[in-house]
Structures are given as structure tokens and as C-alpha cells.
Amino acid sequence: MFYEGSRERLLNQIRSCFLSPHGPGRLPPTPLTHGDRRPPALVSPHAGYMYSGPVAAHGFAVLQSYRRPESIIIIGPNHYGLGTEVSLYPGGHWSTPLGDVIIDEGLNEALMEVSDIFYMDETSHSMEHSIEVQLPFLQFLLGEVKFTPICILDQSLETCTAVGEAVARVLKGRDILLIASTDFTHYEPHSQVMEKDAKALERITALDARGLYQVNSRYGITMCGYGPVAAVITAAKILGCSDVRVLKQSTSGETSGDYSSVVGYASCLLELAE
């Protein structure tokens, strides 16, 4: 439903996202070359690749400037109301047409040790797409990777702050890539979505998790992953975030051609201190 089902078609689809007029316009080198900076945190969209893939590519394209991550944490919202409030996937692997992605069971255990807010639960992840759709991009750029998925049903500020604090404790001193998966305003005209989402992005670039909740409520910004973003903001602040940039803001209208009822997307980069 969200990306091509065969290896070659999916690889071509990912390449087209990078080369799209709405994407970075260039292909990163594969295998990816790496810089000497600590892996950052990203905010990344999770719609079908035909709609949000070019926006997502902006975030993944910057990874060549950073050290190769030893592992990845992806935090996404629970769209379907299944399972527990904050869910880790117990173990094993997830499969995409590009191969298997191993669950980082050691990272799971570390998170469980620092906070009792997490549950080991497969049910929460059984239908959820927000975390899964990040994986083919990571496989394309990094090859074999391992990761920990965190699926959040309770997106209250209190819960998501606790998640971010726990993640920060586990990330301290480690080269782990952190990703918050979210789309922004849903099913409104393009110009209105761009204006609304800009207000949310202002709060993200200010590392203001509470303010993000406030503008979402005040302006009716229907972000589906505001909680994961709040968790990443919280972790980034603790880890000495030095800079936040919006790499790309767009909507589904720019790829579909229908500007009357669109979904908003954005890619953001959060630099973390060494």
C-alpha cells in the first residue's frame, strides 16, 4: 500500500524519490560515505512513497555527513488503537522487499531498564505503517541495519516527555540515529496546510514540545505523530541539540497535482552534540 512490493521496483522508486523535483535532486552515494559527526535526529513523513517519498528523501540524503549509526530508534504514532500505550517490538526481524531488518534486542532491554513506560508488545505494531515505511530508505543507504521501533498510542505530553527522557539516557555517548515519524495537517487545501504546518514547524525548530501541542490545538493542526516528535524534541534537548533545520516542507498536492485536499509533510534535521 505504501511502497513497491518487489526489490527492483522498490529500489527504482526510492531512487526516483531522491531524483524528484521535490526531492534533493541527487542520489546519495551507495554504499553511503560517512562524515565524522554524531548521527542526528530526523523528523520524517510516513505516507505512500508516491506522495511523501521525495520529502522523506531530503532527511535521508543528509546522513552521508554523519558517522554510520550503530543502531536506529524509530518512534511512530499508533494509528489503529491496538496494543499498549508505548510499545517496543520484542525481537526477531521485520522484512521488506530489500531484506530483513533486525530488531535491536539489546537496545530494547536498555530502554526497559531505564523506564517502566515501555511494554514489549507485538500487537501495537501489527497493522502500523508509520515506522515500517522508514526502513526501505535506511536499507537503501545503509545496507544491513538493526533498529528499535517505538509505537506510541498515548500521545500525551507527559508520556512522550517520559519516552524522550528514556531515549536520551540510552543514546548518551552512542552513535544511534533517532527518527520521529509523522505527517502534518490532513485533507485541507494546499495553501492552508502550508500555513498551518509552518506554525508547527516553528515550534519544532524552537525545540518547544509544549508549544507544539499548543499550536496544534489552537490552529487545528492534525499532525498524527505529534507525540513522537515531542519525544524526539525532548531527547534532543537533553543531548545538547545545537541546531534544528526544516529541510523540506511540502504537501501531497505537489506530487499528485490535486491541491484541493492534501496532506502536509516535512523533513527536519536535529543536530546532536557529541
Over residues 76-103, mean pLDDT:
98
- List alpha helices for the chain, DSSP H: 7-19, 49-61, 105-114, 135-142, 157-171, 190-205, 209-219, 226-238, 253-256
CB atoms near residue 24 (< 10 Å): 20
Q: pLDDT above 90 covers what percent of the chain?
A: 97
Domain ranges within the chain, ordered by starting residue: 7-271
Where are the strands (E) in 53-161, listed by range? 71-77, 86-88, 93-96, 99-103, 119-120, 146-152
Residue 274: per-residue pLDDT: 87
172-206 pLDDT tens trace: 999 999 999 999 999 999 999 999 999 999 999 99
Predicted structure pTM score: 0.98
Helix 190-205, helix 209-219: angle, nearest 10: 160
Residue 70: per-residue pLDDT: 97
**CATH domain 7-271 topology:** Protocatechuate 4,5-dioxygenase; Chain B (3.40.830)
Residue 184: per-residue pLDDT: 98
6-36 pLDDT tens trace: 999 999 999 999 999 999 999 998 878 899 9
> What's the mean per-residue pLDDT of the chain?
97
Phi and psi at residue 120, to the nearest 5°: -85, 115
Calpha distance 133→137 (Å, rounded): 8
Amino acid at the residue 75: I
Calpha distance 8→207 (Å, rounded): 39
Contacts (Cβ under 8 Å, ≥6 apart) of 109: none
Calpha distance 68→160 (Å, rounded): 27
Over residues 264-272, mean pLDDT:
98
